[in-house]
A = this chain, B = another copy of it.
Amino acid sequence: MWQLYQFPLCPFSRKVRLMLGEKGIAHELVRENPWANRDEFLDLNPAGQTPVLVEESKGLVLIDSNAICEYFEETVDRAPMLAGGAAARAEVRRLVAWFDERLYGDVVKPMMDERMKKRLVSRDAPDTRILREAMKTANAHLDYIDYLLDHRRWLGGPVLSLADLTAAAHLSVADYLGGIDWRGHKQTTDWYSVMKSRPSFRTLLGERMEVIVPPTHYDKVDFF
């Protein structure tokens, strides 16, 4: 069986978990704390990052969330997440890169650093200036998602795609850490409610990280 080395609040691990869930791929979770720099994990992935997916009986080690998602898109027909022609697929991949670089870099990573890593690892107080800036940028990202949903049924086009899984994965981590103010973003909250109600997402939202407690709306489909 596939073994997924992952961390509960790693958005890239969450993206892969949503992909495996939608594709119906059985797997077991192996918890890996990215800041531990465990030698055995670095041997597996010199980049030292989650997620890594291993199938020992086949001698397969898959690294990098997008390489993993493309692998299952190529090998499993069920639930296509890069549907359509080459141009439609390019648009989905553009958005995946946008969320992985900008939504992650400007919003999710600073929130993880300030609200999770400082709490669990260095035990410093969070920098409120950085958090305020990240929450302001989060709002701009929700505006952009509202705009996409004004023109399309799903984020990447007419059907559910890897763009939806990627955005939901990142937003869910920021939301766990109390960093998302959903008010005034009707299109995005409606879309996120639908995402939350998918079986692949519900399991994930039911889990809790030690020490850090999410806001009460976090796993509620209707936000209340």
Chain A positions within 8 Å of B, measured between CB atoms, are 46-47, 60, 62-64, 66-68, 70-71, 74-75, 86-87, 89-91, 93-94, 97-98, 101-102, 144
A89–B74 Cα distance when bound, in Å, is: 10
A75–B88 Cα distance when bound, in Å, is: 13
> What residues of chain B lie closer than 8 Å to A63, measured between beta carbons?
90, 94
Closest residue on chain B to residue A46 by CB atoms: B144
Shortest CB–CB separation between residue A39 and chain B, in angstroms? Answer: 17
> What residues of chain B lie closer than 8 Å to A47, measured between beta carbons?
98, 101-102
B67 touches A93 (CB 8 A): yes
* Contact residue among B60, B71, B86, B101 (Cβ-Cβ distance under 8 Å from A71): B86
- Residue picked from A47, A67, A70, A101, most chain B C-beta under 10 Å: A67
A98–B63 Cα distance when bound, in Å, is: 10
4 shortest A-B CB distances, which residue pairs? A67-B93, A64-B97, A71-B90, A63-B94
